[in-house]
Structure 1
């Protein structure tokens, strides 16, 4: 599998984390585990579609997808050769761009072609087909630069910035202070713009930070536990298992798979 991460236009950094592409000529079915990373996505498959196992049941996905926040790992399996690209969006961007209530899309990956929002339903026509990576990037940039002119403000901008800057370790009290809002309003806005509670979202970002520390290869497990803000090693292991289904000592951090591509920024 070839993974490619593409930086968006600098003026889109408030809305888009990155674009990514996946390509493989191997049609053999391969099982992939997807782990929460705190971002939503718009995904377009120009190769064969994937099967997904979410909430215990397998189903075949449609080619073009909207992926909301996930709070647990799930599985994907290719049905043939892979050709995919996606827009990995900042946490509140789908609400800012399209007015979606993200609580409705928690742990949901829904088809775009029949989406009730016509702007989203016709999104593939702006990008597909494309002749080169550069042409695709230009189309994506041009579309979202135009869309950003009508995007609504993000009332959680300062709160989210603190979550990321603290690697998920900021307290609810600190988040309320950063956003100049009550805890009740914070909870309500997170449900609408993110789909998760602020505490759980911060927990995902803290978990993601583990992968950055592992990638640096400069710290012991004890130091990683401390640096990532866990009470002790058992607390660290419980959280890691909750998000991955695996023990950190046996997890393959360098494996060339989807999960590591998305988590190793």
Structure 2
């Protein structure tokens, strides 16, 4: 998401690595630039259908592309790496929304949705059953992308009084790669730390500290997989005191060490 001059590109590397068919499209511009990614994947017919998901702070809308077995769910960012269950040998279409998205209004707070992890999409959306029916007229990845973009265009604009505060704070979190303290956010916005925390929990679903840690983890994972021989650079840039501190912090959210996580992609 472009907020000011900073960019957040949340990733789910294991999904791409472990699905027999995976494709994605990153939009240049959608309504309010609320969509991070469109993606489509097929689960392995010989597997349990489990896919590992890491914290990314985002909201995913997931649709089964099989009209004989239709479902749509909303899946939120876990607080630590975990496994989500999917039926094997099924094609799924996904839309990853940025945490600050305002295009879709849900019936309950984002915090409540996050507590549930995965829930049927229409439990939190009103009057969208025709949306689900229209989805099955699409047969290709590109058609599904166009279908969802058209859906977004029909949504009324949402006015959020506190959105400028949220965007400013998110911009600082992205700018520092998750290494900003809530006291700094309070000082620079002129609002109390307690006020900022409440607005974050209402609109993002996480506290500023939790979300900052997720952003820091995303940057760390990205660098770990793309800079395999520069561990000291990762430790320094992500604000870890030393290698032990890095390993402990990484395992807290990923359930495995950095070395073990790299090996997952070499199996």
Query: What secondary structure does 2:139 align onto?
Result: coil
Question: 2:74 maps to what in 1?
Answer: 66
Kindly tell me: are residues 3 and 235 of structure 1, through their superposed partners in 2, closer, same or farther at Cα, counting changes over 3 Å?
Answer: same
Q: Pick from 42, 48, 57: which aligns with 2:61?
A: 42
Q: How many residues align?
A: 243
Native 8 Å contact 1:48 1:78 kept in 2: no
5 Å-filtered alignment, 1:52-63, equals 63=71
Q: Pick from 94, 104, 108: which aligns with 1:97?
A: 104
Could you report, residue by residue, the CA deviation over 1:177-201 in whole angstroms, capped at 9, with x for unpaired residues?
4544221111101111111111011
5 Å-filtered alignment, 1:72-87, equals 72-87=80-95
Question: 1:111 maps to what in 2?
Answer: 120
Native 8 Å contact 1:48 1:82 kept in 2: no
- 1:240 CA drift (Å): 1.1
CA RMSD in angstroms, aligned pairs only: 2.8
Question: 1:56 maps to what in 2?
Answer: none
Paired with 2:178 and 2:198, the residues of 1 have a C-alpha distance of 19
Gaps of 5+ in 2: 1-19
* Off by >6 Å, runs of 4+ in structure 1: none
The answer to whether 1:248 aligns with 2:258 is yes
Deviates more, 1:203-212 or 1:230-239: 230-239
Paired with 1:119 and 1:143, the residues of 2 have a C-alpha distance of 13
Deviates more, 1:200-209 or 1:99-108: 99-108
Could you report, residue by residue, the CA deviation over 1:117-147 in whole angstroms, capped at 9, with x for unpaired residues?
3245554234234122221111111111332
TM-score (ref. length: structure 2): 0.80
5 Å-filtered alignment, 1:2-41, equals 2-8=21-27, 10-12=29-31, 14-24=33-43, 26-41=45-60
Native 8 Å contact 1:5 1:19 kept in 2: yes
Query: What secondary structure does 1:250 align onto?
Result: helix
Could you report, residue by residue, the CA deviation over 1:130-177 in whole angstroms, capped at 9, with x for unpaired residues?
122221111111111332x41233241111122112110112123224
TM-score (ref. length: structure 1): 0.80
Q: Pick from 164, 168, 171: which aligns with 1:158?
A: 168
- 1:212 CA drift (Å): 2.2
- 1:251 CA drift (Å): 1.1
Paired with 1:249 and 1:176, the residues of 2 have a C-alpha distance of 37
Paired with 2:68 and 2:76, the residues of 1 have a C-alpha distance of 18
- 1:254 CA drift (Å): 6.9
Paired with 1:121 and 1:185, the residues of 2 have a C-alpha distance of 37
Kindly tell me: are residues 218 and 249 of structure 1, through their superposed partners in 2, closer, same or farther at Cα, counting changes over 3 Å?
Answer: closer
- 1:21 CA drift (Å): 0.8
Kindly tell me: are residues 191 and 98 of structure 1, through their superposed partners in 2, closer, same or farther at Cα, counting changes over 3 Å?
Answer: same
Kindly tell me: are residues 105 and 217 of structure 1, through their superposed partners in 2, closer, same or farther at Cα, counting changes over 3 Å?
Answer: same
Query: What secondary structure does 2:91 align onto?
Result: strand
Native 8 Å contact 2:43 2:49 kept in 1: no
